[in-house]
């Protein structure tokens, strides 16, 4: 009697029902999150690029075209044009001013003028809009506090040489001399060249200290 050789039984691993679907769903959700983050970043980059090139003379349509999305997508992600405005303020506030050796007046002036050349016109607009939109006040105040701290660091030796009221007066005077409005008066109103604005600012500070 002929008997066919016995074939080993094939073992099939049990897969819990629904496990594959859950894995696919998690993957799909992760992929959507990555794409959403990339879209948000493109919109942010578009806003900041337009802001740098045109200050505030651009529309949501301009943002959408540059980012390669629709206006509805811009609003869905950021909520409103005011939210984009606040984002621009955050970008300006988070900008790092070039460091200078403490007490080096020309180096400090060069650093602050360099900063204002890049974002001074934007900051002036933020300050003007503070009264129109009270929601901007906290962010503007953060900028003021950051500038004060910079002055205290950049001119620390000069400030250490004063005590009490004299130190406070010098601090306030240095804040004014290096404020964005001083830069605006020299560069925009008086239409001086950048080198002349730096030279005059150095002279003002030298007279103070």
Mean pLDDT score, 179-204: 98
Q: Higher confidence at residue 196 or residue 28?
A: 196
Is the entire prediction scored with pTM above 0.75?
Answer: no
Helix (H) or strand (E) holding 209: none
The whole-chain average pLDDT of the chain stands at 86
Mean pLDDT score, 36-59: 84
pLDDT in the model for residue 87: 82
Closest C-alpha among 153, 177, 164, 51 to residue 104: 153
Rg (C-alpha) for the chain, rounded Å, is 29
Please report which residue ranges of the chain form alpha helices under DSSP H.
19-54, 60-67, 71-78, 81-93, 105-129, 137-154, 156-160, 164-177, 180-184, 194-208
Which pLDDT tens digit goes with each residue over 122-156? 889 888 888 877 777 888 888 899 999 999 999 99
Closest C-alpha among 52, 51, 70 to residue 61: 70
Angle at 137 between CA 184 and CA 124, to 5 degrees: 15
Q: State how far the Cα of 51 lies from the Cα of 74, in Å rounded to an integer.
A: 16
The end-to-end CA distance of the chain, in Å, is: 116
pLDDT in the model for residue 20: 63
Q: Is the pLDDT of residue 12 over 50?
A: no
Residue with tokens 């948000």: 40
Q: Which of 57-61, 68-72, 85-89, 104-108 has the highest mean pLDDT?
A: 104-108
Confidence band of 166 (pLDDT split at 50, 70, 90): very high
Which pLDDT tens digit goes with each residue over 144-153? 999 999 999 9
Mean pLDDT score, 1-12: 48
| Long-range contacts from 188-197, C-beta under 8 angstroms, 24+ separation | 188/121, 194/113, 194/117, 197/113
For 151, other C-beta atoms within 10 Å of its C-beta total 23
């Amino acid at each position: 009697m002929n008997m066919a050789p016995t074939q080993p039984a094939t073992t099939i691993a049990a897969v819990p029902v629904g496990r594959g679907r859950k894995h696919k769903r998690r993957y799909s959700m992760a992929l959507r999150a990555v794409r959403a983050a990339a879209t948000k970043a493109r919109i942010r980059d578009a806003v900041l690029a337009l802001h740098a090139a045109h200050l505030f003379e651009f529309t949501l349509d301009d943002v959408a075209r540059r980012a390669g999305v629709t206006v509805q997508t811009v609003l869905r992600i950021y909520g409103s044009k005011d939210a984009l405005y606040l984002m621009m303020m955050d970008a300006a506030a988070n900008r790092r001013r070039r460091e200078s050796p403490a007490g080096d007046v020309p180096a400090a002036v060069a650093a602050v003028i360099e900063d204002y050349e890049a974002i001074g016109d934007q900051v002036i607009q933020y300050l003007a809009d503070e009264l129109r939109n009270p929601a901007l006040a906290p962010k503007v105040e953060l900028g003021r506090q950051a500038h004060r701290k910079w002055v205290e660091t950049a001119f620390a030796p000069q400030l250490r040489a004063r005590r009490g009221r004299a130190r406070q007066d010098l601090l306030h005077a240095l804040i004014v001399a290096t404020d964005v409005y001083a830069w605006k008066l020299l560069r925009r109103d008086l239409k001086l060249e950048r080198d002349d604005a730096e030279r005059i600012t150095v002279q003002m500070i030298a007279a103070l200290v």
